[in-house]
Amino acid sequence: MSSQKTVSRLSRILGLIPYVLANPGVSTEEVMERFGYSRSELTRDLNAVFVCGLPGYGPGELMEAYIDEDEVVIDSADYFSRAPRLAPIEALGLLAAALAVSGSGQGTPALDSAIAKLSDVLLPEADATLAVDLPPSTDSATTLKRAAAENRVTHIVYRSLSREETTERDIEPWLVFSTLGNWYVMAHCRLVDDMRTFRIDRIRSVEVLEERFDPPDEIPEPGVGYSPSDNDVTATIDLFPGARWVLEYYPVEILEEGDDHVRIRFSATDPELPARLLLRLGGSARLVEGPDVSERLKHLGKALSDRYG
């Protein structure tokens, strides 16, 4: 078990015990929903609690913890009767999540009063030391959010990130999310009959259609990860210190860490994406291998020197 998983499991147990002590007779169902437990996870954790207690560890010293007729029972655990302090990352995670939602125009009066109460407890003397600004939500993002909530097929005009082309397509928007400073929509794209993630600032126009679609039972975790396929163009690139940020922004494969550079393999559906990236990087990167990308880069360089004369 990784240490993160152990921490998460212990954290849940330390929250569970005071809740059950304060709510005797609480149903198994409610505990599972409140704490995100499956039945077997709950049983496993109650079994762990059951063998812990005060030194001596005899029947009189151990906590009681079990499921009885679909009620969760915990007893003899007075030392855990109060809710535990949150770890810094938990406190930050909760406050930042609330501030992100509140600041993106999705807030409610209940959320704002919850933020005030949490700040009193979590930041007793550090009020207003935390700011979370998601990128401003655009009209397109708002429209797509509504379309996703209503399961409506949406027609978009999209300028591709990796290709120099504008396409029109019908999509079934599932989820609008923000990551790496941009807004994205995750959707089933009818043009390619597959799941696609579109950057919303590249969507030129959005039209919500009458037709409704059946959303999937479970939406995958949002992300802009890119899974390479056999048809991809690949390039081997050396990144010097000024270009290391590329590692954070693109899903690249690290081939080798040198003294002054890191060598990566960059995969894309179109050579335009790595070629443009290399243009931006100038002398802080070097294309080691990738004939398609090299040709594309030279072409872009020529077009620019013509333009700048």
Partner 1 sequence: MRNVVERVLNTLIYLLESPHPVTAEEIRRTVPGYSQDSDEAFHRMFERDKELLRQLGVPIKLDALDVWEVDFGYTVDPDEYAIPDPGLTPEERAALSLAARIVQLGGSHAGLDGLRKLGGVEQGVAFEPFGADLGAEGETLGAVFDAVVQRSPIEFTYREGRRKLNPYGIAFRRGHWYLVGVTTEGERVYRIDRISAIDKGEPGGFERPAGFNPSTFLQSQPWEAGGDEEVKATVRFDPEVAWWASRTLGVEHSEGHLEVTIPVSNRDAFVGWVLSFGPSAEILAPEELRRDLMDRVTAAVDGVVA
Give the angle subtended at the CA of 66 by the CAs of 65 and 67, to the nearest 5°: 145
**Shortest CA distance to 145 belongs to which of 202, 105, 116, 117?**
105
Of the candidate residues 24, 39, 54, 168, the single one contacting partner 1 (CB under 8 A): 54
Interface stretch with partner 1, choices 66-74, 84-92, 206-214, 253-261 (CB under 8 A)? 84-92
Q: Does 72 help bind partner 1 (rule: CB under 8 A)?
A: no
Considering the rule CB under 8 A, would residue 145 count as an interface residue with partner 1? yes
Among 149, 191, 192, 209, binds partner 1 (CB under 8 A): 149
Quote the least distance from Cβ 258 to partner 1, whole Å: 14
Site for partner 1 in 228-247 (CB under 8 A): none
Residues 165-224 that bind partner 1 (CB under 8 A): 166, 173-182, 201-202, 204, 222-223
**Sole binder of partner 1 in the list 24, 39, 57, 251 (CB under 8 A):** 57
**Per CB under 8 A, which of residues 271..300 are in contact with partner 1?**
276, 278-283, 285-291, 294, 297-298, 300
Structure token digits, residue 248: 């954070």
- How far apart (Å, rounded) are the C-alpha atoms in residues 42 and 155? 45
Would you give the distance in Å from CA 136 to the centre of its chain?
18
Check residue 24 for interaction with partner 1 (CB under 8 A): no
How many C-beta atoms lie closer than 10 Å to residue 110's C-beta?
A: 8
Q: Which is nearer to partner 1, 106 or 167 (CB)?
A: 106
C-beta neighbour count of 46 within 10 angstroms = 24
153 is a site residue for partner 1 (CB under 8 A): no
Output the CA torsion 140→146→149→151 (10° steps). -80
Query: Would you count residue 21 as binding partner 1 (CB under 8 A)?
Result: no
Which listed residue (39, 83, 216, 258) binds partner 1 by CB under 8 A?
A: 83
Burial class (CB in 10 A: 0-12, 13-18, 19+), 264: buried
